[in-house]
Amino acid sequence: MAIRSLASRRTLAGLKETSSRLLGLRSIQTFTLPDLPYDYSALEPAISGEIMQIHHQKHHQAYVTNYNNALEQLDQAVNKGDASTVVKLQSAIKFNGGGHVNHSIFWKNLAPVKEGGGEPPKGALGGAIDTHFGSLEGLVKKMSAEGAALQGSGWVWLGLDKELKTLVVDTTANQDPLVTKGGSLVPLVGIDVWEHAYYLQYKNVRPEYLKNVWKVINWKYASEVYEKECK
Amino acid sequence: SIIKEMAASSAVTADYVLKPPPYSLDALEPFMSRQTLEFHWGKHHRAYVDNLKKQVLGSDLEGKTLDHIILNTYNNGDLLPAFNNAAQAWNHEFFWESMKPGGGGKPSGELLALLERDFTSYEKFYDEFNAAAATQFGAGWAWLAYADNKLKVMKTPNAVNPLVLGSFPLLTIDVWEHAYYLDFQNRRPDYIKTFMNNLVSWEAVSSRLHAAKAASSSSA
């Protein structure tokens, strides 16, 4: 996830930084849209290049922009001690910050077939999936069913419960990150089931999108996260 | 109760029927494409109706009217299973009838007077309605509604509608992404403006307002 100050604000940030330090205040870190590690069309035919481009350049970018705006407003409200504005901003931060967090994970959850997309997980994660869900097919069936049944917008997740040391399948509404369902949950694989994730290609047939997305799921990344969190 | 009277007197009577819009599927072009209507009405709305029928079969909701199911499954927000299909069936029929070919623009007469009374000006109403539709996060609807003798703008998530919130719906715009994605992709604000400028049926809104006032006064 690329985190760096917005270029156009570098000079202003410098002045702000000085005066902030004089006043004993922090300056905030803003966010930028992470690059995709593959071309927009690289996930075809599972996900069209048209969808990938709009999803990344329009939807994710909007979350980043709006998150930065909310953070700026939050910073000012915190510095002024304006508690009710701080609280009022929480939903904008959850929506847009959540959108940025979730989509940043999503792009890493996907990979072109020629870079391992769709290849089943091996090693520790593969074993854990078999233990908890019987087989990869069992996990896929469960996640696809829960994703299809989700009303409105949201995500379906495979997560690791760090405390209980189990794998869990869960859904979140809108852009709520998985951690909102449990403080010890670590997202391994998230599948976006907002209509913008599939509509141009699959229209109303969300189950068809869910059937095909598994062909480009990057289990190598999920395994890395799993092994790191299990240490 | 007044809510039951409001629901009963509303123009939507779809009791598990997929009613076609009061215009052909290409009649709203170029503002809303035929392709959108084919999917939105022909697939999404149809599925809510078909799934509702299957869902209530053999249950104590079988044979009940649509508005009865909606009011009884809302359960103060802790939604019972049939709510989504029932409310979405209702919402979509209400939505088609909120639009017409050659619609949009400023209303006149009594409706304009009331908008000016309750929003200061039509422009202020327009801005407030647009903002509600643009800021309903995720899936949902924006509404012009009537309650306590006043017009107000509301926004609701997913399938929720003003009926379950004690208000009489007068106008709605669907802001689920499936409503605008084929024509506008991510550009929801453009879709909302197009709806307001070119699609709203103020005749439908006026007749719903008359029904709302009649229902209110008969329950006073």
| pLDDT, tens digit (0-9, with 9 covering 90-100), for B143-162 | 999 999 999 999 999 999 99
Kindly tell me if the per-residue pLDDT of A21 is higher than 70: no
User: What is the pLDDT at residue A4?
Assistant: 47
| Closest to B111 in 3D by CA, of B209, B216, B212, B200 | B209
Contact at CB, A200 and B177, closer than 8 angstroms:
no
Alpha-carbon distance B83 to B71, whole Å?
8
Quick one: tokens of B182? 């084929």
Q: What are phi and psi of A123, to 5 degrees?
A: 60, -150
Quick one: tokens of A146? 């829960």
Residue given tokens 């609280």 in the structure block: A87
Contact at CB, B158 and A152, closer than 8 angstroms:
yes
Tell me if residue A60 falls in helix, strand or coil. helix
Task: Answer whether A178's CB lies under 8 Å from A185's CB.
Answer: yes
Give the residue on B whose Cα is nearest the Cα of A66.
Answer: B135
What is the DSSP annotation of chain B? -HHHHHHHHSS---SS--PPPSS-TTTTTTTS-HHHHHHIIIIIIHHHHHHHHHHHTTSTTTT--HHHHHHHH-GGGS--TTHHHHHHHHHHHHHHTTB-TT--S---HHHHHHHHHHHSSHHHHHHHHHHHHHH--SSEEEEEEEETTEEEEEEEETT--GGGGT-EEEEEEE-SGGGTHHHHTT-HHHHHHHHHHHTB-HHHHHHHHHHHHHHHHHH-
ipTM of the prediction: 0.92
User: What is the pLDDT at residue A10?
Assistant: 47
Residue given tokens 């890395």 in the structure block: A224
User: Confidence class of residue A231 from pLDDT cuts 50, 70 and 90?
Assistant: confident
Please, what are the domains in chain A?
46-230 (3.55.40.20)
The alpha carbon of A229 is separated from its chain's Cα centroid by a whole number of angstroms, namely 17
Residue A199: which of B139, B157, B178 has the nearest Cβ?
B178
Contact at CB, B47 and A62, closer than 8 angstroms:
no
User: Confidence class of residue B16 from pLDDT cuts 50, 70 and 90?
Assistant: confident
- Of the two residues B11 and A60, the one the predictor is more confident about is A60
Residue given tokens 């509301």 in the structure block: B154
Other Cβ atoms less than 10 A from the Cβ of B1: the count is 9
The arithmetic mean of pLDDT across residues B29-39, rounded, is 98
Contact at CB, A196 and B186, closer than 8 angstroms:
yes
What does pTM read for this prediction?
Answer: 0.91
Alpha-carbon distance A104 to A90, whole Å?
20
Query: Any long-range contacts for B86-89 (C-beta under 8 Å, 24+ apart)?
Result: B86/B52, B87/B159, B87/B160, B87/B161, B87/B164, B88/B45, B88/B48, B88/B159, B89/B14, B89/B16, B89/B45, B89/B48, B89/B49, B89/B52
Quick one: tokens of A75? 């910073």
User: What is the pLDDT at residue B13?
Assistant: 45
CA distance A196 to chain B (A): 7
User: Confidence class of residue A209 from pLDDT cuts 50, 70 and 90?
Assistant: very high
Contact at CB, B182 and A153, closer than 8 angstroms:
no
The arithmetic mean of pLDDT across residues A126-141, rounded, is 98
> Which residues 108-167 in chain A show a CB within 8 A of chain B?
151-154
pLDDT tens digit sequence for B153-196 = 999 999 999 999 999 999 999 999 999 999 999 999 999 999 99
CB contact burial A71-102 (16+ within 10 A = b; e otherwise): bebbbebbeeeeeeebeebeebbbbbbbbbbb
Alpha-carbon distance A100 to A94, whole Å?
10
| Closest to A23 in 3D by CA, of A76, A73, A69 | A76
- Of the two residues B14 and A38, the one the predictor is more confident about is A38
Alpha-carbon distance B54 to B63, whole Å?
12
- Candidates B41, B52, B178, B187: best to mutate against A (most CBs of A within 10 A) is B178
Peptide linkage before B20 cis (omega within 30 of 0): no
User: Confidence class of residue B19 from pLDDT cuts 50, 70 and 90?
Assistant: very high
Cβ contacts from A onto B, under 8 A: 53
Alpha-carbon distance B58 to A220, whole Å?
47
**Helix H or strand E encompassing A225:** helix A219-230
Give chain A's end-to-end CA distance (angstroms, integer): 22
User: What is the pLDDT at residue B35?
Assistant: 98
Quick one: tokens of B150? 């006043």
Kindly tell me if the per-residue pLDDT of A8 is higher than 50: no
Task: Answer whether B200's CB lies under 8 Å from B171's CB.
Answer: yes
The arithmetic mean of pLDDT across residues A84-113, rounded, is 98
> For residue A173, which residues of chain B lie inside 8 Å, CB to CB?
138
Residue B137: which of A95, A195, A203 has the nearest Cβ?
A95
**Helix H or strand E encompassing A188:** strand A185-192
Contact at CB, B178 and A54, closer than 8 angstroms:
no
| Closest to B132 in 3D by CA, of B165, B174, B89, B92 | B174
Output the CA–CA distances (angstroms, integers) from residue B213 to A56, B108, B165, B217, in the order listed: 47, 18, 17, 6
Tell me if residue A47 falls in helix, strand or coil. coil
pLDDT tens digit sequence for B107-138 = 999 999 999 999 999 999 999 999 999 999 99
Other Cβ atoms less than 10 A from the Cβ of B7: the count is 23
pLDDT tens digit sequence for A146-172 = 999 999 999 999 999 999 999 999 999
